[in-house]
Amino acid sequence: MIALIIAMPQELEAFLETVDSAVSLRYGGKTIYECEYKGIKFVMALSGIGKVNAAYTATLMIEKYSPSFLITTGAAGGFGLDIYDVFVAEKVVQHDIDTTAFGDPRGYISGLGVVYIDADKGFVKLCESKLNGVKTGVIASGDQFIASGEIARKIAKEFGASSCDMESGAIGQVAYMAGVPFGVIRTITDGGNDEAQTSFAEKLKKAVEINKNAVLGIIGLVEKHGEKTAE
């Protein structure tokens, strides 16, 4: 079974309005929806914004459902991308981890010994082949809404990132530690620059629809291909 993790209520509602059925239940303080869409069964949960919310929700989903695949999805900022681009992450990184005082590179995850975590390669290939015009690259996550051109340029340069959000890096880390393959699908609402807050607010509604359609367009193929997708 595939599990979706979604940060914001607007993003969740778009899915709930489209799926054929959704049964809600409470688990670990979170509301989880057991859904069906065109014969495909999957579960999804609203994590809330930020890395701790995301990591906790991913842990709950893995604990309860032992999903075959985990997808984090929603809006994101883009560095050099166009508004409404659909972005699929090849790697995730957490830009706000900083133990450089001890000689570590920025983003270094203690205990894992890595800076970047790879998303599932088969999933990336599937999205590239099935989603028209999809963009791929590194997504950088941190507990900060990026709304500064200076900060955006710094993150893009330091981590080779093309996108930013506040959840994917944490979800990727949990999935990696639990041995669950994962993917990231995001739709760009802003450039992470000085106009990001305004752009995000204005573009979110349309981006949510684009993102929902992309996810529902690919989720059945992920389920169908199963082990062929996860690699």
Active site residues: 11, 190
Structure tokens at 100: 């450089």
Chain position carrying tokens 């309005």: 17
Burial class (CB in 10 A: 0-12, 13-18, 19+), 59: middle
| CA distances from residue 144 to 12, 134, 140 in whole angstroms, order as listed | 21, 25, 11
3-state secondary structure of 226: helix
Angle at 13 between CA 7 and CA 18, to 5 degrees: 125
Pairing of strands 86-94, 135-141: parallel
Query: Interior CA angle at 15 toward 204 and 166, to 5°?
Result: 50
